[in-house]
Chain A
Amino acid sequence: MIEIVSRERCVSCDICVKVCPMNVFERGADGIPVISRQVDCQTCFLCEAYCPTDALYVAPYDHPAPAGSAQRDEAAQVAAGALGAYREVLGWGRGRRAGSLLDENHRFGPNSPGGVRP
Chain B
Amino acid sequence: MNRADRLGSGTLHTDVLVIGGGPAATWAAESAATAGVRVVLVDKGYCGASGAAAASGNNVWYVPPGPQREASITKRADQAQGLADEGWMSRVVETTWERLFDLSDWGYPFPVDDGVQRRGSLQGPEYLRRMRRRVHRAGVQILDHHPALELLVDDDGVVSGAAGIARQDGGRRWQIAAGAVVLATGGCAFLSGTFGTNVDTGDGHLMAAEAGAELSGMEFSTHYGPSAAWGVHTKGRMLQFATLFDEHGVRIDIPPGGSVRSVAMEREIAGERVYASLVDVPGHLRPMMRNSQPNFFIPLEKAGIDVFRDRYPLRMVYEGTVRGTGGLRIVGDDCRTTVPGLFAAGDAATRELITGGVSGGGSHNAAWAISSGTFAGRGAARFAAGRGIRAAGRLQAIGGTGLRPQQRPVPGLAAIMVRAVQERILPPRLTARRTPEDLTITEASMESLWQQARDHLAVDQLHDQGRELLKARQAAAMVAHLRWITASALYRQESRGMHRRVDHPGRGDQDHRILVGGLDTVRNRPEVESGERMAS
**A, B assembled together:** yes
Binding site for B on A (CB under 8 A): 17-23, 37, 40, 42-46, 49-50, 59-63, 71, 82, 85-86, 89-90, 92, 98-111, 116, 118
**B396 in contact (CB, < 8 A):** no
Interface residues of B (CB under 8 A from A): 21, 44-46, 48-51, 54-55, 57, 59, 61-63, 72, 108-113, 118, 120-123, 125-126, 144-145, 167-168, 193, 195-199, 228, 230-233, 237-238, 240-241, 260, 285, 288-289, 291-295, 298-303, 361, 363, 467
Question: Are A18 and B144 closer than 8 Å at their CB atoms?
Answer: yes
- Whether the pair A108, B123 counts as a contact (CB closer than 8 A) is no
Q: How far is the CA of A114 from the CA of B59 in the complex (A)?
A: 17
Chain A residues whose C-beta falls within 8 Å of the C-beta of B122 in the assembled complex: 100
Contact A62 B125 (CB under 8 A): no
CA of A109 to CA of B122, assembled, Å: 13
Total contacts A-B at CB 8 Å: 161
**In the complex, which residues of chain B have a beta carbon less than 8 angstroms from the beta carbon of A59?**
302
Which residues from chain B contact A21 at a C-beta distance below 8 Å? 21, 44-46, 49-51, 54, 196, 199
**Is B121's CB under 8 angstroms from A106's CB?**
yes
Q: Other than the known A21-B21, A82-B302, what 10 A-B pairs have Cβ atoms closer than 8 Å? A: A18-B145, A37-B467, A42-B193, A60-B298, A89-B291, A89-B294, A89-B298, A99-B291, A105-B59, A106-B121
Nearest-neighbour CB distance to chain A for B366, whole angstroms, equals: 12
CB-based contact A44/B196 at 8 Å:
yes
Chain A residue numbers with a CB within 8 Å of B295 are 45, 86
B145 and A23 within 8 A (CB): yes
Cβ contact within 8 Å between A18 and B46? yes
Is B120 a contact partner of A45 (Cβ separation < 8 A)?
A: no
Indicate if the CB atoms of B298 and A20 lie closer than 8 Å. no
Query: B294 contacts A111, CB within 8 Å?
Result: no
The listed residue (B110, B144, B232, B300) touching A42 by CB distance below 8 A is B232
Q: Which residues of A contact B54 (CB under 8 A)?
A: 21, 44, 46
13 contacts between A and B (CB under 8 A): A17-B168, A21-B196, A42-B196, A43-B233, A62-B232, A86-B295, A86-B298, A89-B294, A99-B291, A101-B109, A107-B292, A108-B240, A118-B240
Q: How far is the CA of A19 from the CA of B43 in the complex (A)?
A: 11
* A13, B110: Cα distance in complex, Å: 30
